[in-house]
Each structure stands twice: as structure tokens, then as C-alpha cells.
Amino acid sequence: MIRFLLLGVMTSFLVGCNNNIEPITVEELTHKAAFDFKSKQAFAIDRSVQLPTTNPENPKSKLQPALYCSQCKQWYPAPPIEELNRNPGSAKCPKNGGPLSPNGPLPEQILVFSEKSE
């Protein structure tokens, strides 16, 4: 767990120059970003978890796919897939209108889904 947190901090330092090929960390291979509606925060979750889903630590809240703005260095909730298909430009940063990407340094907070099957 602590190792994952450190990796998260390190990756956020490494990103910044998009022309460089960034090394993929173990964390990025096994985790993806999700946006929690209630807390308005992004979390790293296991890649095998299907989104949207219920937040295991807050059953009243929903997790949905997140997209990253490299200018704000923040994760934002992704628009619904139907909307993205209809209008690809809808994946824009709500703050500065920059492009949002599904790839970015993973959030430092990791949500663990306990019912994970082995």
C-alpha cells in the first residue's frame, strides 16, 4: 500500500513533458482512475473493476470513469459514453477547456474492492 502511494507521487513528478515516453509503472498496469461523485475526488481502483459502480467505502456514492487534464493536473468525471460517441469534443476540461485524456498519473488514493475474486 505504501509502495503504491510512493509510486503515485513519483509518477506525478515524472509527467509534465508529453513528448517523452513515460515509463509504465506496475500501478498503471493494474489500476485505473475512477471519480467518486460524493467526495468529488479521484481514486485509483483495480483495472478489473467495471465502471460505473458503487464506492465500496461509501455505498451511497457512485464511482465513474475519470479523465485527466494535463494542464490542471486533475482528474475529472468522464462524460457518458453515449455523449462521447455523439460529440467527441465533450471530453473537455470544465476549467480551461483543454483536452481530457484517459491516461495520466494515477490518483494517490487507492480504493480496495474487498469482494475481489482470486
Contact 91, 67 (CB under 8 A): yes
What distances in angstroms separate CA 87 from CA 11, 61, 69, 80, 91, one per listed residue?
31, 27, 18, 11, 8
**Residue 15 lies near Zn ion (rule: CB under 5 A):** no
**Residue 5 lies near Zn ion (rule: CB under 5 A):** no
Query: Which of 5/93 has CB closer to Zn ion?
Result: 93
Of 6-14, 23-31, 42-50, 67-75, the window that binds Zn ion (rule: CB under 5 A) is: 67-75
CB of 117 to Zn ion, least distance (A): 37
Of 12-20, 36-44, 54-62, 96-104, the window that binds Zn ion (rule: CB under 5 A) is: 96-104
What distances in angstroms separate CA 5 from CA 10, 67, 74, 106, one per listed residue?
9, 20, 17, 10
Residues of this chain that interact with Zn ion (CB under 5 A) are 69, 71-72, 93, 95-96, 98
